[in-house]
């Protein structure tokens, strides 16, 4: 059984982890359906919450916040699921036993989660716009600015979320533990993303300036937090 030359490349490993997650999801559609349906349920609750707001109420002022809220809650559902897959049959152990650098595992899982989160948003965001904003006559800014702000937010959510979910799958009461760590940690990110989203949706004079400032801060936050998560990931896996 003498083996020929082996080529171990981190990038190939990263692709393997990502591909595996995508193949699994396409087969079961477990995460996408549950996240999508959950998001729809949240939208229904929004309607109930706003049903007595009256004619003069300007939804566009709070639309950014509502949208992000739906995404945050939905994301937690997926984050837990994605790590439970690894834990279930001890697969994470097999991953750790193979010659894979720990950061590769982190990025593999995080990018997978980011992709699923984006897929869900592609479905939810237009729906949200259609239900809540299409009739409000708000003159919002270009749609790509919304998409970019959501992307920057999703990067932070997926990065920090994957990091925390790796811990929470080993605790009793997984979902709750993830929530209590996740929400206060991403609180600052949520603030700036909501500010950026609201700037675009309301399109007040000078909104472009506010938007880019907020996006810059959000990117800085993403970079700092993901760097810390990256540095600490090995310790979580070793425990």
Partner 1 sequence: MVLMVIGGLLTTLAFFMAFYTARVQGFGTIVSEVPLDTSFALAPPNLQPTDGIAYERPWLSQKIFYFHVPVAEASFLVFSIAALFAVLFLLRKDKKYDTRSRIAMETAFVFVVATMITGVLWTRASWGVWWDWEPRLTTYFIMMVLMVAYFVVRNSVGDEERAATYAAVFCIIAWVDAPLSFIITRLIPSSHPVVFRSGMDTTNLIPFIIAQLGMLMIGYAIYVLRATEEDMRERLDILKEGLEDY
Partner 2 sequence: MTPSQSTESIPTDVLALDVHDLSRTFGVRKALDKVSFELAQHQFLSIFGPNGAGKTTLLRVLATLTPPSAGSDVKVLGYDVVKDAFALREHIGLISHNPLLYPDLTADENLQFFAQLYGIPSSKERIDELLDAVELTHRKLDIVRTFSRGMTQRLSLARTLLSSPELIFLDEPYSGLDPHASDILDSLIEGIRDKHTFVMVSHDLEHGLEMCSHALILARGKVVLFEERASLDTEAFRSTYRDTVGLGVS
List contacts with partner 1 (CB under 8 A): 163, 167, 170-173, 177, 180-181, 183-185, 187-188, 191-192, 195, 199, 210, 213-214, 217, 221, 224-225, 228-229, 232, 235-236, 238-239
By CB under 8 A, which span of 23-31, 36-44, 116-124, 202-210 interacts with partner 2? 23-31
Residue 23, contacted partner among partner 2, partner 1, none, CB below 5-8 A by kind:
partner 2
Contacts of partner 2 in 99-138 (CB under 8 A): 99-101, 103-104
DSSP string over 51-115: TTS-TT--THHHHHHHHHHHHHHHHHHHHHHHHHHHHHTTHHHHHHHSS--HHHHHHHHHHHHHH
Contact between residue 24 and residue 85 where contact means Cβ atoms under 8 Å apart: yes
Quote the least distance from Cβ 177 to partner 2, whole Å.
22
Q: Does 55 bind partner 2 (CB under 8 A)?
A: no
Contacts of partner 2 in 154-183 (CB under 8 A): none
Q: What is the 3-state secondary structure (H, E, C) of 139-189?
A: CCCCHHHHHHHHHHHHHHHHHHHHHHHHHHCCCCCHHHHHHHHHHHHHHHH
Contacts with partner 2, residue ranges (CB under 8 A): 1-10, 12-13, 15-16, 19-20, 23-24, 27-28, 85, 88-91, 93-101, 103-104, 238
């Amino acid at each position: 059984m003498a083996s020929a030359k082996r080529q171990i490349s981190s990038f190939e490993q990263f692709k393997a982890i990502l591909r595996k997650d995508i193949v699994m999801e396409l087969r079961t559609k477990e995460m996408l359906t549950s996240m999508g349906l959950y998001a729809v349920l949240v939208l229904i609750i929004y309607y109930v919450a706003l049903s007595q707001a009256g004619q003069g109420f300007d939804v566009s002022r709070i639309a950014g916040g509502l949208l992000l809220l739906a995404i945050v809650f939905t994301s937690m559902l997926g984050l837990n699921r994605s790590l439970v897959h690894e834990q279930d049959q001890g697969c994470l152990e097999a991953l750790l036993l193979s010659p894979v650098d720990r950061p590769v595992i982190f990025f593999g899982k995080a990018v997978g989660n980011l992709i699923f989160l984006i897929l869900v948003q592609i479905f939810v965001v237009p729906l949200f716009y259609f239900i809540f904003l299409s009739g409000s006559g708000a003159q919002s800014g270009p749609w790509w600015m919304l998409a970019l702000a959501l992307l920057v937010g999703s990067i932070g959510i997926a990065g920090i979320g994957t990091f925390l979910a790796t811990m929470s799958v080993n605790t009793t009461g997984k979902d709750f533990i993830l929530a209590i760590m996740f929400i206060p940690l991403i609180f600052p990110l949520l603030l700036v993303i909501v500010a950026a989203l609201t700037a675009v949706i309301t399109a007040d004079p000078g909104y472009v300036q506010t938007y880019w400032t907020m996006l810059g801060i959000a990117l800085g936050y993403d970079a700092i937090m993901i760097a810390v998560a990256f540095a600490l990931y090995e310790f979580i896996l070793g425990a």
